[in-house]
Amino acid sequence: MGKEENILSVKDLQTSFFIDDGSEVKAVDGVTFDVPKGKTIGIVGESGSGKSITALSILKLIDNPGKIKGGQILYKGDNLVDYNERKMRKIRGNQISMIFQEPMTSLNPTYTVGEQISESYKIHQGLGKKESKRKVIEMLKLVGIPSPEKRIDQYPFELSGGMRQRVMIAMALACRPEMLIADEPTTALDVTIQAQILELIKELQDELGMSVIMITHDLGVVAETCDYVAVMYCGKVVEYADVRTLFKNPRHPYTVGLLNSLPRSDVDQEELIPIKGTVPSPDEMPTGCRFAPRCPFATEKCHNELPELEQIGLGEQIRCWIYTDEWTGDPEVKVYEP
Partner 1 sequence: MITYIIRRIFQLIPVLFGVTILVFLMMHLTPGNPAQLMAGETAPPEVVERIEKRLGLHDPLPVQYVNFLKKVVTLDFGVSMRNSLPIIDELRPKFWVTIELAIYSTLLSIFMGIIAGIVSAVRKYSFADVAIMLVALFGLSMPNFWLGLMLMQWFSINLGWFPPTGWGSPGQVVLPVITLGTAGAAVIARMTRSSMLEVISQDYIRTARAKGVRERVIIYRHALKNALIPVVTVTGLQFGTLLSGTVLTETVFAINGMGRYVIDSIMARDFPAVQASIIVISIMFVLVNLIVDISYRYLNKRIDLNG
What whole-number distance in Å separates Cα of residue 317 and Cα of residue 230?
Answer: 9
Nearest Cα neighbor of 36 from 250, 311, 226, 238 is 226
What whole-number distance in Å separates Cα of residue 38 and Cα of residue 227?
Answer: 10
Q: Is 90 in the site for partner 1 (CB under 8 A)?
A: yes
What whole-number distance in Å separates Cα of residue 184 and Cα of residue 100?
Answer: 6
HSE, CB side, 13 Å, CA atoms: give it for residue 306: 13
Residues 4-43, mask of contacts with partner 1 (x by CB under 8 A): ----------------------------------------
CA angle 86-26-181, nearest 5°? 50
- For partner 1, the closer CB: 108 or 278: 108
Which residue among 157, 270, 283, 331 contacts partner 1 (CB under 8 A)? 157
- For partner 1, the closer CB: 91 or 275: 91
- For partner 1, the closer CB: 10 or 238: 10
Q: How far is the CB of 133 from partner 1 (least distance, A)?
A: 17
- Those residues with Cβ within 8 angstroms of residue 287's Cβ, 6 or more apart along the chain or in another chain: 303, 304, 306
What whole-number distance in Å separates Cα of residue 217 and Cα of residue 203?
Answer: 22
Q: Is 67 in the site for partner 1 (CB under 8 A)?
A: no
Q: How far is the CB of 217 from partner 1 (least distance, A)?
A: 18
Q: Is 148 in the site for partner 1 (CB under 8 A)?
A: no
Burial of 281 (0-12, 13-18, 19+ CB in 10 A): exposed
Which range binds partner 1 by CB under 8 A, 24-32, 116-124, 227-235, 248-256?
A: 116-124
Q: Is 120 in the site for partner 1 (CB under 8 A)?
A: yes
Which residue among 89, 133, 141, 176 contacts partner 1 (CB under 8 A)? 89
Q: How far is the CB of 185 from partner 1 (least distance, A)?
A: 13
What whole-number distance in Å separates Cα of residue 113 and Cα of residue 302?
Answer: 52
Q: Is 50 in the site for partner 1 (CB under 8 A)?
A: no
What whole-number distance in Å separates Cα of residue 318 and Cα of residue 230?
Answer: 10
CA 180 to chain centre: 10
Q: How far is the CB of 10 from partner 1 (least distance, A)?
A: 17
CB 154 within 8 A of CB 210: no
What whole-number distance in Å separates Cα of residue 184 and Cα of residue 172?
Answer: 15
Q: How far is the CB of 77 from partner 1 (least distance, A)?
A: 21
What whole-number distance in Å separates Cα of residue 334 and Cα of residue 249?
Answer: 11
Q: How far is the CB of 83 from partner 1 (least distance, A)?
A: 12
**Which amino acid, 333?**
V
CB 256 within 8 A of CB 296: no
Which range binds partner 1 by CB under 8 A, 86-94, 142-150, 217-225, 258-266?
A: 86-94
Q: How far is the CB of 89 from partner 1 (least distance, A)?
A: 5
- For partner 1, the closer CB: 173 or 219: 173
Which range binds partner 1 by CB under 8 A, 151-159, 254-262, 282-290, 322-330?
A: 151-159
Q: Which spans of this chain sit near partner 1 (rule: CB under 8 A)?
A: 59, 61, 85, 89-94, 97-98, 100, 102, 104-111, 119-120, 123-124, 155-158, 168, 171-172
